[in-house]
Amino acid sequence: MRELGAFEAKTHLSALLESVQSGEHITITKRGRPVAQLVPVNQDSLTHRVDLSLRIEKLRSRIANECGLFTTSDILSARNEGRKPATPPIGEGSLRGD
């Protein structure tokens, strides 16, 4: 793993990107302290994320077709179902019903 300063990284960015594309990992420092890393993009991970995104969109579409669209009120109602009613903060309201 190569390490270089921010100024040098800025000056030679194109060459650094080619090195990273070839598999090299590069640490960029500022005043001698590591602040960033240039690493190759994992194509499998990228492909996986795109696949997940497409699957989520298909699921959203299927739910909308089968169940209709949900309103904010529907979602909040489902979230609150089975929860105890909220108690007012101390100082607001009375336990005696006044």
Instruction: Convert the pLDDT of each residue in 88-97 to its tens digit.
Output: 767 665 555 5
Q: What is the pLDDT of residues 38-84, one digit of tens each?
A: 999 887 777 888 999 999 999 989 988 888 888 889 889 888 888 88
For all residues of the chain together, what is the average pLDDT?
87
Instruction: pLDDT band for 8, please (50, 70, 90 cuts).
Output: very high
Domain containing 63: what range? Answer: 43-80
- Domain contains 94: no
Show the DSSP H helices in 4-42 as ranges.
6-11, 13-21
In this structure, what CATH number is given to the domain that contains residue 15?
3.40.1620.10
Global model pTM greater than 0.85: no
- The half-sphere exposure of 98 on its side-chain side, counting CA atoms within 13 A, is 6
Are 60 and 76 part of one and the same domain?
yes
Two tokens at 22? 């070839």
